[in-house]
């Protein structure tokens, strides 16, 4: 997909923030080498609560993610935004509880042995 090349092909002006990729935290990930591999993706998570009806004591909090390596027009489009969780309760979600299954799965994925990577021929 052409959109995933956005991270490596976009141009930016030092000191000018036009995209999340221009931010210090995002740039530090590259300096530390974590995101240097071309197949790694930076995900963003968003949530906001809503009451299912006016007199409800409960709230629903959908959790969405976007791939920040896509151009903004694609990143926030319905086609590339995914619902990855739903919190329902009397309180706001505890982020640690809400994202624990996702974090645990990532830890399992990166902890398992991976086959050696060979450059494409």
Question: What's the Cα-to-Cα distance from 45 to each of 9, 19, 79, 80, rounded to whole Å?
Answer: 24, 16, 16, 13
Q: Which pLDDT does position 116 carry in this prediction?
A: 64
Residue 83 · residue 64 · CB < 8 Å: yes
Calpha distance 42→108 (Å, rounded): 18
Q: Which pLDDT does position 58 carry in this prediction?
A: 93
Residue 15 backbone zone (phi > 0: left; psi -120 to 50: alpha; other: beta) = left
Tell whether 84 is covered by a domain: yes
Q: Which pLDDT does position 1 carry in this prediction?
A: 56
- Based on the structure, what is the number of domains in the chain? 1
Tell whether 120 is covered by a domain: no
Q: Which pLDDT does position 60 carry in this prediction?
A: 93
Tell whether 72 is covered by a domain: yes
Tell whether 56 is covered by a domain: yes
Residue 59 · residue 51 · CB < 8 Å: yes
Tell whether 16 is covered by a domain: yes
Calpha distance 52→6 (Å, rounded): 38
Tell whether 60 is covered by a domain: yes
Q: Which pLDDT does position 32 carry in this prediction?
A: 66
- The residue segments making up the domain with residue 51 are 2-111
Calpha distance 38→16 (Å, rounded): 24
How would you class 62 by CB atoms within 10 Å of its CB: exposed for 0-12, middle for 13-18, buried for 19 or more?
middle
Tell whether 117 is covered by a domain: no
Tell whether 57 is covered by a domain: yes
Query: pLDDT in tens for each of the 121 residues of the chain?
Result: 566 788 778 888 888 999 888 888 888 877 766 666 666 778 888 889 988 888 889 999 998 988 888 898 898 898 889 998 888 999 888 888 878 888 898 788 878 776 666 665 5
């Amino acid at each position: 997909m052409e959109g995933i090349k956005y991270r490596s092909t976009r141009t930016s002006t030092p000191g000018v923030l036009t995209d999340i990729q221009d931010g210090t935290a995002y740039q530090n990930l590259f300096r530390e080498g974590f995101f240097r591999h071309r197949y790694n993706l930076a995900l963003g998570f968003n949530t906001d609560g809503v009451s299912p009806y006016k007199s409800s004591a409960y709230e629903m909090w959908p959790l969405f993610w976007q791939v920040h390596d896509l151009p903004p027009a694609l990143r926030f489009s319905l086609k590339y935004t995914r619902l990855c969780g739903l919190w329902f309760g009397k309180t706001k979600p505890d982020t640690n509880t809400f994202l624990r299954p996702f974090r645990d799965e990532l830890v399992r994925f990166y902890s398992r042995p991976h086959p050696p990577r060979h450059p494409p021929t």
